[in-house]
Amino acid sequence: MSLELSKKGLLVKPSSTLAITAKAKELRAKGLDVVGFGAGEPDFNTPDNINATAIKAIQDGFTKYTAAAGTPELRKAISNKFKTVNHLNYEPDQVIVSNGGKHALTNIFEAILNPGDEVIIPTPFWLSYPEIVKLEDGVPVFVRCDASQNYKITPEQLAAACTEKTKAFVLNSPNNPTGMVYSKAELEALAKVIVEKDIYVISDEIYEYLTYDGEQMVSIGSLNDEILAHTITCNGMAKGYAMTGWRIGYTGAPKAVAKVMASIQSHQTSNPNSVAQMASLEAITGPQESVGIMRQEFDRRRLYMFDRISKMPHVSTICPRGAFYVFVDISKALELSYNGKKIETCAEFARILIEEYLTAVIPCADFGFADHIRLSYAISIEQIEKGLNRIEEFLNKLQ
Ligand code: PLP
Protein backbone atom coordinates (compact mmCIF):
# COMPACT_ATOMS: atom_id res chain seq x y z
CA MET A 1 0.00 0.00 0.00
CA SER A 2 0.98 3.67 -0.26
CA LEU A 3 -0.30 6.93 1.14
CA GLU A 4 -1.67 7.87 -2.29
CA LEU A 5 -4.89 9.91 -2.24
CA SER A 6 -8.08 9.04 -4.07
CA LYS A 7 -8.14 9.81 -7.80
CA LYS A 8 -11.64 11.13 -7.43
CA GLY A 9 -10.73 13.51 -4.61
CA LEU A 10 -7.73 14.81 -6.52
CA LEU A 11 -9.92 15.57 -9.56
CA VAL A 12 -11.98 18.09 -7.61
CA LYS A 13 -11.02 21.75 -7.89
CA PRO A 14 -11.13 23.94 -4.79
CA SER A 15 -13.82 26.63 -4.98
CA SER A 16 -12.38 29.74 -6.65
CA THR A 17 -15.18 31.92 -5.28
CA LEU A 18 -14.03 31.08 -1.77
CA ALA A 19 -10.44 31.95 -2.74
CA ILE A 20 -11.39 35.50 -3.79
CA THR A 21 -13.48 35.92 -0.65
CA ALA A 22 -10.48 34.81 1.43
CA LYS A 23 -8.24 37.37 -0.31
CA ALA A 24 -10.77 40.13 0.37
CA LYS A 25 -10.92 39.09 4.04
CA GLU A 26 -7.14 39.11 4.30
CA LEU A 27 -6.93 42.67 2.94
CA ARG A 28 -9.77 43.80 5.23
CA ALA A 29 -7.94 42.34 8.21
CA LYS A 30 -5.05 44.67 7.30
CA GLY A 31 -7.45 47.57 7.69
CA LEU A 32 -7.99 48.17 3.96
CA ASP A 33 -11.35 49.39 2.66
CA VAL A 34 -12.27 46.47 0.39
CA VAL A 35 -15.53 46.28 -1.56
CA GLY A 36 -16.60 42.67 -2.05
CA PHE A 37 -18.78 41.82 -5.06
CA GLY A 38 -18.04 38.14 -4.43
CA ALA A 39 -20.77 37.34 -1.92
CA GLY A 40 -22.93 34.33 -2.64
CA GLU A 41 -25.23 35.04 0.29
CA PRO A 42 -27.81 37.66 1.24
CA ASP A 43 -26.38 40.42 3.44
CA PHE A 44 -29.57 40.49 5.54
CA ASN A 45 -30.00 38.89 8.94
CA THR A 46 -32.19 35.83 9.24
CA PRO A 47 -35.70 37.18 10.06
CA ASP A 48 -36.52 37.51 13.79
CA ASN A 49 -39.42 35.04 13.83
CA ILE A 50 -37.11 32.33 12.49
CA ASN A 51 -34.36 33.10 15.01
CA ALA A 52 -36.87 33.15 17.88
CA THR A 53 -38.24 29.75 16.87
CA ALA A 54 -34.73 28.30 16.89
CA ILE A 55 -33.99 29.72 20.34
CA LYS A 56 -37.22 28.23 21.66
CA ALA A 57 -36.38 24.87 20.06
CA ILE A 58 -33.10 24.80 21.99
CA GLN A 59 -34.80 25.84 25.22
CA ASP A 60 -37.45 23.15 24.68
CA GLY A 61 -34.73 20.54 24.28
CA PHE A 62 -35.34 19.90 20.59
CA THR A 63 -31.69 18.98 20.33
CA LYS A 64 -31.75 15.24 19.73
CA TYR A 65 -31.57 13.14 16.57
CA THR A 66 -34.57 13.44 14.29
CA ALA A 67 -35.63 11.10 11.48
CA ALA A 68 -32.73 10.97 9.02
CA ALA A 69 -34.67 12.45 6.09
CA GLY A 70 -36.05 15.27 8.23
CA THR A 71 -38.85 15.64 10.77
CA PRO A 72 -42.31 14.50 9.61
CA GLU A 73 -43.61 18.05 10.30
CA LEU A 74 -41.00 19.70 8.10
CA ARG A 75 -41.37 17.16 5.28
CA LYS A 76 -45.12 17.71 5.36
CA ALA A 77 -44.69 21.50 5.35
CA ILE A 78 -42.30 21.27 2.39
CA SER A 79 -44.70 18.96 0.56
CA ASN A 80 -47.47 21.55 1.13
CA LYS A 81 -45.21 24.35 -0.03
CA PHE A 82 -44.26 22.38 -3.16
CA LYS A 83 -47.99 21.95 -3.89
CA THR A 84 -49.22 25.46 -3.15
CA VAL A 85 -46.28 27.61 -4.24
CA ASN A 86 -44.67 25.51 -6.96
CA HIS A 87 -47.62 23.37 -8.14
CA LEU A 88 -45.46 20.28 -7.69
CA ASN A 89 -47.14 17.12 -6.47
CA TYR A 90 -44.62 15.63 -4.08
CA GLU A 91 -46.00 13.73 -1.09
CA PRO A 92 -44.11 14.03 2.24
CA ASP A 93 -42.33 10.70 1.63
CA GLN A 94 -40.97 12.19 -1.61
CA VAL A 95 -39.31 15.02 0.32
CA ILE A 96 -35.79 14.72 1.75
CA VAL A 97 -34.35 17.42 3.99
CA SER A 98 -30.56 17.73 3.76
CA ASN A 99 -27.65 19.79 5.08
CA GLY A 100 -27.98 22.60 2.56
CA GLY A 101 -28.57 22.70 -1.17
CA LYS A 102 -25.08 21.39 -1.92
CA HIS A 103 -25.70 18.31 0.18
CA ALA A 104 -29.11 17.81 -1.46
CA LEU A 105 -27.43 17.86 -4.88
CA THR A 106 -24.73 15.46 -3.72
CA ASN A 107 -27.37 13.02 -2.50
CA ILE A 108 -29.35 13.34 -5.70
CA PHE A 109 -26.37 12.52 -7.90
CA GLU A 110 -25.29 9.73 -5.59
CA ALA A 111 -28.76 8.22 -5.86
CA ILE A 112 -29.00 8.29 -9.66
CA LEU A 113 -25.49 8.05 -11.15
CA ASN A 114 -23.53 4.97 -12.10
CA PRO A 115 -19.86 5.29 -13.14
CA GLY A 116 -19.60 6.95 -16.55
CA ASP A 117 -23.16 8.33 -16.62
CA GLU A 118 -23.28 11.71 -18.31
CA VAL A 119 -24.86 14.83 -16.85
CA ILE A 120 -25.59 17.73 -19.18
CA ILE A 121 -24.69 21.10 -17.66
CA PRO A 122 -25.55 24.28 -19.58
CA THR A 123 -22.60 26.66 -19.54
CA PRO A 124 -22.14 29.09 -17.79
CA PHE A 125 -22.96 27.12 -14.66
CA TRP A 126 -22.69 27.38 -10.89
CA LEU A 127 -19.20 26.04 -10.32
CA SER A 128 -20.11 23.24 -7.90
CA TYR A 129 -22.26 21.23 -10.34
CA PRO A 130 -19.43 19.60 -12.31
CA GLU A 131 -17.37 18.98 -9.20
CA ILE A 132 -20.25 17.24 -7.43
CA VAL A 133 -21.04 15.19 -10.55
CA LYS A 134 -17.38 14.06 -10.74
CA LEU A 135 -17.37 13.17 -7.05
CA GLU A 136 -20.38 10.96 -7.67
CA ASP A 137 -18.67 9.11 -10.57
CA GLY A 138 -20.53 11.00 -13.29
CA VAL A 139 -19.18 12.78 -16.36
CA PRO A 140 -20.17 16.43 -16.80
CA VAL A 141 -21.08 17.33 -20.38
CA PHE A 142 -20.95 21.06 -21.04
CA VAL A 143 -23.17 22.88 -23.52
CA ARG A 144 -22.17 26.46 -24.21
CA CYS A 145 -25.03 28.96 -24.08
CA ASP A 146 -24.01 32.38 -25.36
CA ALA A 147 -25.22 35.88 -24.55
CA SER A 148 -27.13 35.88 -27.87
CA GLN A 149 -29.42 33.20 -26.36
CA ASN A 150 -29.52 34.91 -22.95
CA TYR A 151 -27.17 32.20 -21.68
CA LYS A 152 -30.05 29.69 -21.77
CA ILE A 153 -29.94 26.23 -23.31
CA THR A 154 -32.26 25.59 -26.28
CA PRO A 155 -34.20 22.33 -26.77
CA GLU A 156 -32.13 21.68 -29.90
CA GLN A 157 -28.90 21.98 -27.95
CA LEU A 158 -30.21 19.71 -25.22
CA ALA A 159 -31.32 17.05 -27.70
CA ALA A 160 -28.00 17.22 -29.55
CA ALA A 161 -26.03 16.75 -26.32
CA CYS A 162 -27.91 13.59 -25.31
CA THR A 163 -26.16 10.26 -25.82
CA GLU A 164 -26.92 6.74 -24.65
CA LYS A 165 -25.01 7.53 -21.49
CA THR A 166 -26.98 10.65 -20.57
CA LYS A 167 -28.64 10.28 -17.19
CA ALA A 168 -29.57 13.83 -16.26
CA PHE A 169 -29.70 17.48 -17.21
CA VAL A 170 -29.12 20.29 -14.70
CA LEU A 171 -31.49 23.23 -14.92
CA ASN A 172 -30.93 26.28 -12.72
CA SER A 173 -33.51 29.04 -12.94
CA PRO A 174 -33.18 31.75 -11.64
CA ASN A 175 -29.60 31.23 -12.62
CA ASN A 176 -26.29 31.65 -10.86
CA PRO A 177 -24.19 33.28 -12.37
CA THR A 178 -26.29 34.83 -15.18
CA GLY A 179 -29.43 36.00 -13.35
CA MET A 180 -31.54 34.63 -16.22
CA VAL A 181 -34.98 33.06 -15.65
CA TYR A 182 -36.50 30.46 -18.02
CA SER A 183 -40.02 31.22 -19.25
CA LYS A 184 -42.83 28.67 -19.13
CA ALA A 185 -42.67 28.26 -22.92
CA GLU A 186 -38.92 27.63 -22.79
CA LEU A 187 -39.41 25.02 -20.06
CA GLU A 188 -42.19 23.31 -21.99
CA ALA A 189 -39.88 22.91 -24.97
CA LEU A 190 -37.08 21.52 -22.77
CA ALA A 191 -39.52 19.21 -20.95
CA LYS A 192 -40.49 17.58 -24.25
CA VAL A 193 -36.86 16.67 -24.92
CA ILE A 194 -36.33 15.40 -21.36
CA VAL A 195 -39.35 13.09 -21.56
CA GLU A 196 -38.51 11.94 -25.08
CA LYS A 197 -34.91 11.12 -24.14
CA ASP A 198 -36.09 9.61 -20.84
CA ILE A 199 -33.54 11.39 -18.64
CA TYR A 200 -33.82 13.16 -15.28
CA VAL A 201 -33.90 16.91 -14.95
CA ILE A 202 -32.38 18.23 -11.74
CA SER A 203 -34.18 21.52 -11.25
CA ASP A 204 -32.23 23.73 -8.84
CA GLU A 205 -34.76 26.33 -7.70
CA ILE A 206 -32.82 27.81 -4.80
CA TYR A 207 -33.25 31.41 -6.04
CA GLU A 208 -37.00 30.98 -6.61
CA TYR A 209 -38.11 33.98 -4.56
CA LEU A 210 -35.59 36.35 -6.08
CA THR A 211 -37.18 37.33 -9.38
CA TYR A 212 -37.84 40.84 -10.70
CA ASP A 213 -39.67 42.79 -13.41
CA GLY A 214 -42.80 40.71 -12.79
CA GLU A 215 -40.88 37.55 -13.68
CA GLN A 216 -41.92 34.40 -11.76
CA MET A 217 -40.05 31.17 -11.48
CA VAL A 218 -41.90 28.25 -13.03
CA SER A 219 -41.05 24.76 -11.71
CA ILE A 220 -40.46 22.49 -14.68
CA GLY A 221 -42.04 19.57 -12.78
CA SER A 222 -45.32 21.48 -12.56
CA LEU A 223 -45.91 21.37 -16.31
CA ASN A 224 -47.42 17.88 -16.50
CA ASP A 225 -47.27 14.43 -14.87
CA GLU A 226 -44.87 13.03 -17.45
CA ILE A 227 -42.20 15.62 -16.77
CA LEU A 228 -42.83 15.40 -13.01
CA ALA A 229 -41.88 11.72 -13.17
CA HIS A 230 -38.52 12.82 -14.65
CA THR A 231 -37.97 15.77 -12.32
CA ILE A 232 -35.90 15.99 -9.17
CA THR A 233 -36.47 19.41 -7.62
CA CYS A 234 -33.80 20.82 -5.38
CA ASN A 235 -34.23 23.87 -3.19
CA GLY A 236 -33.08 25.32 0.12
CA MET A 237 -33.53 27.92 2.82
CA ALA A 238 -30.29 29.79 2.15
CA LYS A 239 -31.10 32.45 -0.40
CA GLY A 240 -34.78 33.31 0.01
CA TYR A 241 -34.76 33.43 3.82
CA ALA A 242 -31.19 34.65 4.40
CA MET A 243 -30.34 31.35 6.11
CA THR A 244 -27.05 30.36 4.47
CA GLY A 245 -25.38 29.33 7.71
CA TRP A 246 -28.25 27.16 8.93
CA ARG A 247 -27.52 24.58 6.23
CA ILE A 248 -30.94 23.31 5.27
CA GLY A 249 -31.70 22.21 1.72
CA TYR A 250 -34.46 19.99 0.45
CA THR A 251 -35.41 17.79 -2.48
CA GLY A 252 -38.65 16.61 -4.03
CA ALA A 253 -38.15 13.47 -6.10
CA PRO A 254 -39.93 10.49 -7.64
CA LYS A 255 -40.59 7.95 -4.87
CA ALA A 256 -37.86 5.50 -5.90
CA VAL A 257 -35.23 8.25 -5.98
CA ALA A 258 -36.35 9.68 -2.63
CA LYS A 259 -36.14 6.25 -1.04
CA VAL A 260 -32.54 5.75 -2.16
CA MET A 261 -31.63 9.29 -1.09
CA ALA A 262 -33.09 8.65 2.36
CA SER A 263 -31.07 5.44 2.73
CA ILE A 264 -27.85 7.15 1.66
CA GLN A 265 -28.47 10.03 4.04
CA SER A 266 -29.28 7.69 6.92
CA HIS A 267 -25.70 6.37 6.79
CA GLN A 268 -23.75 9.39 5.62
CA THR A 269 -24.97 12.31 7.68
CA SER A 270 -28.18 11.25 9.48
CA ASN A 271 -30.61 14.10 10.06
CA PRO A 272 -29.80 17.71 9.29
CA ASN A 273 -29.44 19.88 12.40
CA SER A 274 -32.61 19.58 14.51
CA VAL A 275 -32.73 23.25 15.52
CA ALA A 276 -32.22 24.40 11.94
CA GLN A 277 -35.07 22.14 10.86
CA MET A 278 -37.35 23.80 13.40
CA ALA A 279 -36.22 27.22 12.15
CA SER A 280 -36.94 26.12 8.57
CA LEU A 281 -40.42 24.98 9.53
CA GLU A 282 -41.11 28.49 10.81
CA ALA A 283 -39.54 30.03 7.69
CA ILE A 284 -41.81 28.01 5.41
CA THR A 285 -45.03 28.19 7.41
CA GLY A 286 -44.64 31.56 9.21
CA PRO A 287 -45.04 35.14 7.94
CA GLN A 288 -43.47 35.68 4.51
CA GLU A 289 -43.17 39.50 4.54
CA SER A 290 -39.40 39.50 5.05
CA VAL A 291 -38.91 37.63 1.76
CA GLY A 292 -40.64 40.46 -0.13
CA ILE A 293 -38.71 43.16 1.73
CA MET A 294 -35.37 41.53 0.84
CA ARG A 295 -36.45 41.07 -2.76
CA GLN A 296 -37.38 44.75 -3.05
CA GLU A 297 -33.99 45.85 -1.81
CA PHE A 298 -32.21 43.43 -4.17
CA ASP A 299 -34.30 44.82 -7.01
CA ARG A 300 -33.26 48.41 -6.26
CA ARG A 301 -29.59 47.39 -6.26
CA ARG A 302 -30.00 45.31 -9.42
CA LEU A 303 -31.38 48.24 -11.40
CA TYR A 304 -28.64 50.55 -10.15
CA MET A 305 -25.92 48.00 -11.02
CA PHE A 306 -27.32 47.33 -14.47
CA ASP A 307 -27.65 51.02 -15.26
CA ARG A 308 -24.09 51.81 -14.18
CA ILE A 309 -22.42 48.80 -15.81
CA SER A 310 -24.28 49.34 -19.09
CA LYS A 311 -22.61 52.75 -19.34
CA MET A 312 -19.08 51.53 -18.63
CA PRO A 313 -16.47 51.16 -21.38
CA HIS A 314 -15.16 47.77 -22.66
CA VAL A 315 -17.79 45.65 -20.88
CA SER A 316 -21.36 44.57 -21.56
CA THR A 317 -24.12 42.85 -19.65
CA ILE A 318 -27.70 41.61 -19.98
CA CYS A 319 -30.22 42.82 -17.42
CA PRO A 320 -30.61 40.05 -14.84
CA ARG A 321 -34.16 39.01 -13.96
CA GLY A 322 -33.42 36.85 -10.94
CA ALA A 323 -30.98 35.82 -8.17
CA PHE A 324 -28.53 38.54 -7.01
CA TYR A 325 -25.78 38.52 -9.61
CA VAL A 326 -24.80 40.54 -12.65
CA PHE A 327 -22.85 38.57 -15.25
CA VAL A 328 -20.47 40.85 -17.10
CA ASP A 329 -18.80 40.18 -20.45
CA ILE A 330 -15.22 41.48 -20.23
CA SER A 331 -13.97 39.92 -23.49
CA LYS A 332 -13.18 43.34 -25.01
CA ALA A 333 -11.31 44.44 -21.88
CA LEU A 334 -9.19 41.28 -22.05
CA GLU A 335 -7.86 42.43 -25.44
CA LEU A 336 -6.62 45.67 -23.91
CA SER A 337 -3.60 46.59 -21.79
CA TYR A 338 -3.23 47.98 -18.30
CA ASN A 339 -0.04 49.91 -17.57
CA GLY A 340 1.38 48.65 -20.86
CA LYS A 341 0.63 44.96 -20.16
CA LYS A 342 -2.11 42.94 -21.82
CA ILE A 343 -4.62 41.60 -19.30
CA GLU A 344 -5.52 38.36 -21.13
CA THR A 345 -7.38 36.37 -18.44
CA CYS A 346 -10.34 37.04 -16.19
CA ALA A 347 -8.23 35.88 -13.23
CA GLU A 348 -5.70 38.64 -14.02
CA PHE A 349 -8.54 41.16 -14.43
CA ALA A 350 -9.85 40.15 -10.97
CA ARG A 351 -6.35 40.18 -9.47
CA ILE A 352 -5.69 43.78 -10.56
CA LEU A 353 -9.09 44.85 -9.25
CA ILE A 354 -8.58 43.33 -5.82
CA GLU A 355 -4.94 44.27 -5.40
CA GLU A 356 -4.92 47.75 -6.90
CA TYR A 357 -8.54 48.87 -6.56
CA LEU A 358 -9.52 46.91 -3.43
CA THR A 359 -12.54 45.50 -5.23
CA ALA A 360 -13.33 41.79 -5.25
CA VAL A 361 -15.11 40.32 -8.29
CA ILE A 362 -15.50 36.68 -9.27
CA PRO A 363 -13.60 35.62 -12.42
CA CYS A 364 -15.82 33.10 -14.19
CA ALA A 365 -13.37 30.62 -15.76
CA ASP A 366 -14.59 28.07 -13.21
CA PHE A 367 -18.18 28.87 -14.22
CA GLY A 368 -17.25 27.84 -17.76
CA PHE A 369 -17.01 31.38 -19.18
CA ALA A 370 -13.42 32.60 -19.07
CA ASP A 371 -14.22 36.04 -20.49
CA HIS A 372 -16.83 37.02 -17.91
CA ILE A 373 -16.92 38.12 -14.30
CA ARG A 374 -19.74 37.87 -11.77
CA LEU A 375 -20.73 40.71 -9.48
CA SER A 376 -23.02 40.02 -6.56
CA TYR A 377 -25.36 42.73 -5.32
CA ALA A 378 -25.78 41.16 -1.90
CA ILE A 379 -24.02 44.21 -0.42
CA SER A 380 -25.29 47.68 0.51
CA ILE A 381 -26.03 50.23 -2.18
CA GLU A 382 -23.30 52.49 -0.73
CA GLN A 383 -20.75 49.70 -1.13
CA ILE A 384 -22.04 48.96 -4.63
CA GLU A 385 -21.62 52.61 -5.64
CA LYS A 386 -18.09 52.76 -4.26
CA GLY A 387 -17.09 49.47 -5.91
CA LEU A 388 -18.55 50.42 -9.28
CA ASN A 389 -16.70 53.75 -9.19
CA ARG A 390 -13.47 51.80 -8.71
CA ILE A 391 -14.23 49.35 -11.52
CA GLU A 392 -15.04 52.26 -13.81
CA GLU A 393 -11.78 54.00 -12.91
CA PHE A 394 -9.90 50.80 -13.76
CA LEU A 395 -11.74 50.31 -17.07
CA ASN A 396 -11.03 53.90 -18.06
CA LYS A 397 -7.31 53.19 -17.76
CA LEU A 398 -7.34 50.31 -20.23
CA GLN A 399 -5.79 50.97 -23.62
N1 PLP B 1 -27.50 26.06 -6.05
C2 PLP B 1 -27.03 27.23 -6.47
C3 PLP B 1 -27.32 27.66 -7.86
C4 PLP B 1 -26.28 28.05 -5.62
O5 PLP B 1 -25.82 29.22 -6.04
C6 PLP B 1 -26.00 27.57 -4.31
C7 PLP B 1 -25.16 28.37 -3.39
O8 PLP B 1 -24.46 29.27 -3.74
C9 PLP B 1 -26.52 26.34 -3.92
C10 PLP B 1 -27.26 25.60 -4.82
C11 PLP B 1 -26.25 25.73 -2.57
O12 PLP B 1 -26.76 26.41 -1.53
P13 PLP B 1 -26.55 25.92 -0.03
O14 PLP B 1 -25.69 24.70 -0.04
O15 PLP B 1 -25.91 27.06 0.67
O16 PLP B 1 -27.93 25.63 0.47
CA–CA separation, 187 and 171 (whole Å): 10
Q: What is the pTM of this model?
A: 0.96
Chain centroid to CA 340: how far? 37
> From ligand 1's centre to the CA of 12, what distance in Å?
17
Residues 6+ apart with CB under 8 A from 271: 65, 66, 67, 68, 69, 70, 71, 97, 277
C-alpha torsion sign, points 17, 240, 307, 127: positive
Q: What are the pLDDT digits (tens) for 14-32? A: 777 777 788 888 999 999 9
Ligand 1 and 374: CB distance under 6 A: no
β-bridge pairing 341-342 and 359-360: unpaired
Chain centroid to CA 334: how far? 27
Nearest 5°: phi and psi at 214? 80, 0
- pLDDT, position 17: 75
Burial class (CB within 10 angstroms; exposed 0-12, middle 13-18, buried 19+) of 136: buried
> To test ligand 1's pocket by mutation, which of 128, 129, 180 has the most ligand atoms within 8 angstroms of CB?
128
Q: Tell me the three state secondary structure of residue 338.
A: strand
CA–CA separation, 192 and 190 (whole Å): 5
Length of the chain: 399
- pLDDT, position 22: 83
Q: What are the pLDDT digits (tens) for 272-308? A: 999 999 999 999 999 999 999 999 999 999 999 999 9
Q: With cut-offs at 50, 70 and 90, classify the pLDDT of residue 319.
A: very high
- pLDDT, position 14: 76
Percent of the chain beyond pLDDT 70?
A: 100
- pLDDT, position 45: 96
Q: With cut-offs at 50, 70 and 90, classify the pLDDT of residue 255.
A: very high
Q: With cut-offs at 50, 70 and 90, classify the pLDDT of residue 9.
A: confident
The answer on pLDDT for 36 being more than 80 is yes
- pLDDT, position 8: 87
Ligand 1 and 244: CB distance under 6 A: yes
Report the alpha-carbon angle 334-337-339, nearest 5: 140
The answer on pLDDT for 137 being more than 80 is yes
Q: What are the pLDDT digits (tens) for 356-383? A: 999 999 999 999 999 999 999 999 999 9
The answer on pLDDT for 10 being more than 80 is yes
> From ligand 1's centre to the CA of 101, what distance in Å?
5
Mean pLDDT throughout 71-100?
A: 98
CA-nearest residue for atom 3, ligand 1, is 176
> From ligand 1's centre to the CA of 178, what distance in Å?
14
CA–CA separation, 326 and 149 (whole Å): 16
CA–CA separation, 122 and 349 (whole Å): 25
The answer on pLDDT for 199 being more than 90 is yes
- pLDDT, position 236: 98
Ligand 1 and 102: CB distance under 6 A: yes
CA–CA separation, 369 and 363 (whole Å): 9
Closest CA to 41 of 310, 236, 171, 285: 236
DSSP H or E stretch at residue 143? strand 139-144
Ligand 1 and 236: CB distance under 6 A: yes
Mean pLDDT throughout 176-205?
A: 98
Contact 354, 20 (CB under 8 A): yes
Q: Which residues pair with 341 in a beta bridge?
A: 338
Contact 124, 372 (CB under 8 A): yes
